[in-house]
Chain A
Amino acid sequence: MSDVVLSVEDLTVEYASANGPVRAVDGVSFELSRGEVLGIAGESGCGKSTLAHAITRLLRPPGTITGGTVHFQSDGQAVDVLGLDGEPLRLFRWQKIAMVFQSAMNALNPVLNVRRQLEDVLVDHEPGRSRAWRRARCRELLELVGIDVDRLSAYPHQLSGGMRQRVMIAMALALRPDVIVMDEPTTALDVVVQREILDEINRLREQFGFAVVLITHDLSLLLEISDRIAVMYGGRIVEYGPTGGMLDAPRHPYTVGLTASFPDLRGDRRPLAGIPGSPPDLSQPIEGCSFAPRCGHAFAPCAATAPALRAPATTPSADERMTVACHLYDPAEAPDGPPDALGKSLFNLTEVPQ
């Protein structure tokens, strides 16, 4: 892919605990191109929020990055994000990568009004600007996200959940970053407000051209709006590729299970089962594939080794950019290829509503 803005290579994050380190992110690699939306799908505890904090360098002890690299392309130069420290790190954060946190209720300071919180970013990162300039910029930012300018003097508790999330987005936009990481930006919101916020994000992205890493548990939402999707399970990416490919043919049994966890709003009723069992406890050592205990297709190699992320060998080269971490797609382990149940879209996509 050309014009990569962020590349993450083999990133590993561990949390120190009384029972030894817990590996929350395990060898994750991905690339983000300028202006694209990368969706990261996964359940609670799969490491997706840890990943977001690691690439924005917001991770705090007991979490530590124990391996891998994160590179950011800035003005034709690759910046080693993990090597940044002190002043360069302070300048990098928010100016290059900003973040919209999961819960706007808690991420905003309850005792400061909206203007003070927006101004804070500008005072810090744009020193030497006049007060009048900052005020004007704050007004501009609120207008961008569709909030009435007179709400600048409002306090967070006076705003609805959707408005708070818009303020968070305005803060992320304040320094015109190249990348915005959004960690469950709409989870606490109603569907109608969620739709408004997503439309807003899309509009702003088209206007300013920033790239988005969108983290959510809602796969159907990602299938609708992202360009590429990485599905995470047990700290690893288990399937990664263009959204179209995943929509047509989800490969990994977990991805297939996830698509079978959402009833189709308008399609035919089909029997849905979800995925039996519960997500792995990462504090316990995991032998082999972390999904194997819940997987209906598990066979001998699954208990022995964790599969690597690779292009599925058994599928024709329709989409070689698609990768999947599953032994079923490794011809050395499974000569007959994956069972028929996998690799089929569960959404009836022929019928497009009016």
Chain B
Amino acid sequence: MTTLQVRDLVKNFTVRSAGGRTTLTAVDKVSFTLRSGETVALVGESGSGKSTIARILARLTSPSAGEIALDGQPLGTSRRALRGYRSEVQMVFQDPFSSLNPLHSVRYHLRRPLQVHGVAGDRASQEKGVAELLSRVHLGPAETIAARYPHELSGGQRQRIAIARALAPRPRVLLADEPVSMLDVSIRLEILNLIDELKRADDLAVLYITHDLATARYFASTIMVMYKGEIVESGPADDVILRPAHPYTRLLASAAPDPRNRLRRNAAAASVPAVRVSPAGRQDAGSHSGCRFRARCALATDACARRPPDFHAAPDHLVRCWNHAEHDSHATKERI
């Protein structure tokens, strides 16, 4: 059983602006665990820090503070340790149009990781490995596809190659950062179904980063909702979507397009007082003290000037909002 454990992860960026240097905390003490055979979805708006988390986990950037442990082993910093880690934790990027090198063939893209991570040494076994990887992502015939260059492939095919490349070192953790947002709607489900199928076959731990709540609920067992660098709500996918506890999650869920809203309107049902956001409330004023959502929150009270801890909305459903303080007297800072 593989687990990738993240504890109190912090990432600060220094922003130079007219007023001098300021520190932007993109990821603020985030903790979670990925387990093999499970998909965890990380949802949030752009700029919430979700891609930064993926980049830290893929070691494309280093955290400012916090711990990452794979199977209980804290992450080493030597080249050797990093290479070992990367063969276990692989990433699929958002844009298959820029994540593949236009100068290299599909064969090269898949053979390199086999070589680098010592999966296949000689040419014959590499060739066999390439064919295997292609068949795993349902691309064929292998000979034809392997000889192709990225521009000769459709977006969906490219993303399949990117997934095959990620599978090459036989990873145990797959980080998928918005893997379908650049693809046509009719092929998105196929790619997500493929990731799901590979997860089952290889018992992968998957982190699925997205802004689409519907696919998050559909593919993930756990959903974490991120807002301005913090995980404000996490729990079983159905709980988070059907019984959202944090005002921000409610806002997200009510904003998603839903054909049923039409019926609701047509039936002239009692108008839903959706969480209204005043454009002025968009300002980031005071985001460093207290609850970060309070400027946009209709339920904000004086208590929100203090930073809320995690409260339990249900046994495994955590929410970082003072409104849940009364339901849960045992405020806990622990995340599972």
Q: Do A and B come from one complex?
A: yes
Instruction: Using CB atoms, name the residue of chain A closest to B282.
Output: A160
Instruction: Using CB atoms, name the residue of chain A closest to B296.
Output: A192
The answer to whether A265 and B256 have CB atoms under 8 Å apart is: yes
B185 within 8 A of A: yes
| Chain B, interface SS category | helix
A224 within 8 A of B: yes
- Rounded to whole Å, the gap between the CB of B204 and the closest CB of chain A is 20
The answer to whether A353 and B260 have CB atoms under 8 Å apart is: yes
- Rounded to whole Å, the gap between the CB of A297 and the closest CB of chain B is 16
The answer to whether B257 and A221 have CB atoms under 8 Å apart is: yes
A162-192 vs B, CB cutoff 8 Å, 1 = contact: the mask equals: 0100000000000000000000000000111
B187 within 8 A of A: yes
B128 within 8 A of A: no
Which has the most chain A C-beta neighbours within 10 Å: B211, B213, B217, B262?
B262
CB-CB under 8 A for A43 and B186, given A265-B241, A352-B263: yes
The answer to whether B272 and A349 have CB atoms under 8 Å apart is: no
**Residues from chain A with Cβ under 8 Å of B269 in the complex:** 352
The answer to whether A278 and B156 have CB atoms under 8 Å apart is: yes
Which range holds the interface residue count of chain A?
Answer: 35 or more
Which residue of the partner chain, among A192, A220, A354, contacts B277 with CB atoms under 8 Å?
A192
**Residues from chain A with Cβ under 8 Å of B186 in the complex:** 43, 254, 257-258, 261, 274-275, 279
A31 within 8 A of B: no
B19 within 8 A of A: no
The answer to whether B187 and A349 have CB atoms under 8 Å apart is: no
- Rounded to whole Å, the gap between the CB of A315 and the closest CB of chain B is 20
Complex: A273 Cα to B215 Cα, angstroms: 12
Which has the most chain A C-beta neighbours within 10 Å: B185, B193, B261?
B185
Which residue of the partner chain, among B46, B187, B211, contacts A278 with CB atoms under 8 Å?
B187
Of the 9-residue stretches B6-14, B109-117, B247-255, which lies at the interface with chain A?
Answer: B247-255
B22-41 vs A, CB cutoff 8 Å, 1 = contact: the mask equals: 00000000000000000000
**Residues from chain B with Cβ under 8 Å of A194 in the complex:** 255, 257
B315 within 8 A of A: no
Instruction: Using CB atoms, name the residue of chain B closest to A233.
Output: B186
- Taking CB atoms and an 8 Å cut-off, the chain A residues in 179-230 that contact chain B are 190-196, 217-221, 223-225
Which has the most chain A C-beta neighbours within 10 Å: B188, B254, B263?
B263
How many A-B pairs have beta carbons closer than 8 Å: the answer is 121
B335 within 8 A of A: no
- Taking CB atoms and an 8 Å cut-off, the chain A residues in 131-165 that contact chain B are 146-148, 160, 163
Which has the most chain B C-beta neighbours within 10 Å: A192, A193, A220, A264?
A192
B257-280 vs A, CB cutoff 8 Å, 1 = contact: the mask equals: 111111110010100100001011
The answer to whether A243 and B262 have CB atoms under 8 Å apart is: yes
Which residue of the partner chain, among B187, B190, B211, B214, contacts A264 with CB atoms under 8 Å?
B214
Starting from the known contacts A192-B277, A274-B188, 12 additional A-B residue pairs (CB-CB under 8 Å) come to A43-B185, A146-B279, A191-B213, A192-B45, A194-B255, A196-B277, A263-B189, A266-B241, A274-B190, A275-B190, A276-B190, A278-B187
Residues of B that sit less than 8 Å from A by CB: 45-46, 154-157, 184-190, 193, 211, 213-215, 217-218, 241-242, 251-264, 267, 269, 272, 277, 279-280, 282
Can you list 28 pairs linking A and B with CB atoms under 8 Å apart? Answer: A43-B184, A43-B185, A148-B280, A163-B279, A191-B252, A191-B256, A192-B251, A192-B277, A218-B257, A219-B185, A221-B257, A223-B262, A224-B259, A224-B261, A225-B262, A263-B189, A263-B214, A265-B253, A265-B256, A272-B218, A273-B193, A274-B186, A274-B193, A278-B156, A278-B184, A347-B259, A351-B260, A353-B260
